[in-house]
Chains A and B, each alone.
Chain A
Amino acid sequence: MIELLQEYWRPFLYSDGQHITGLAMTLWLLSASIAVGFTLSIPLSIARVSSARWLRWPVQFYTYLFRGTPLYIQLLICYTGIYSLAAVREQPLLDAFFRDAMNCTLLAFTLNTCAYTTEIFAGAIRSMNHGEVEAAKAYGLSGWKLYAYVIMPSALRRSLPFYSNEVILMLHSTTVAFTATVPDILKVARDANSATFLTFQSFGIAAVIYLVVTFILVGLFRLAERRWLAFLGPVH
């Protein structure tokens, strides 16, 4: 156990000497996919609750597809499936993009988390208090100003508890990245396992790291809720 830690603590945390590995890689995967997914999901969630069918249905179809299938299959399609198509390999740009495992992984993760986040935000927009919207309209706000100043600030705050769940689920989902040869925490654990045969210890260390990151995220979101959801709490 001690030797395992001595030999592998560096790859587990940040680098194996050549590449970024372990915790640093996992955090990068998580933050990149969450950031892009969040940005994309705001316009998508507004489209999702739109009264125009041609806006609502494509988004609904997208979230239905990505929430109804496992992330692992989505990753496999992005990583091995698309690149097996001759048409993709002939296009220099697409070829360059899909040859890189990192790009494929980030694409699959982003599309996946964006679908879930879109539904979370759309739900929050839908459960928006009617009175608030009416008051905003009475003040002469409409169109994107109504969304930018009244609906989105409230919807994003109220979806914070569900969003924190999604972020933690996403952290847990990043573990499939190793199947696309991305050296995240689990990949290091597998390497350590096959080199030392200390199965329980190798995966146990990975489990502890994930547990610590989960607890930190839960703590951060609790702080964020105290700051941004204070208005929903009981009156003191």
Chain B
Amino acid sequence: MDTNTTIDYQVERKRYYKVLVGLLLLTAVTFVQPYIFHAGTFTAQMFIAVIKAWLIVMYYMHLKGEKLIGTMALFSLSLVFVFFVIVIGVDVANFQFGAESHITAAAEHTAGAAHAATPAHH
């Protein structure tokens, strides 16, 4: 459980550089991706970011083999998502098409007001 053990400096250093090369390559892919294929840019960019994040978390943050902390990380991410669904769900249900909304332009409210009661908005 404890990671405060003696280390093999050369092996660990090598690992750091390998991860660095991986991250640099992925950063390069991030840059060229929109020129290779334009459709699905958002999905591709987020996919690359997730791989980079995985490398950082596992190797730079030493989470590899840390079961408890890893589970907690997943739990906190799930918690954020659940709160997001609840909060945004309430917002969508109550305010998105009302004048009180702060996330759609005022002009859009007016345009949408005439159809506010129609099910097409839900």
Do A and B pair up? The answer is no
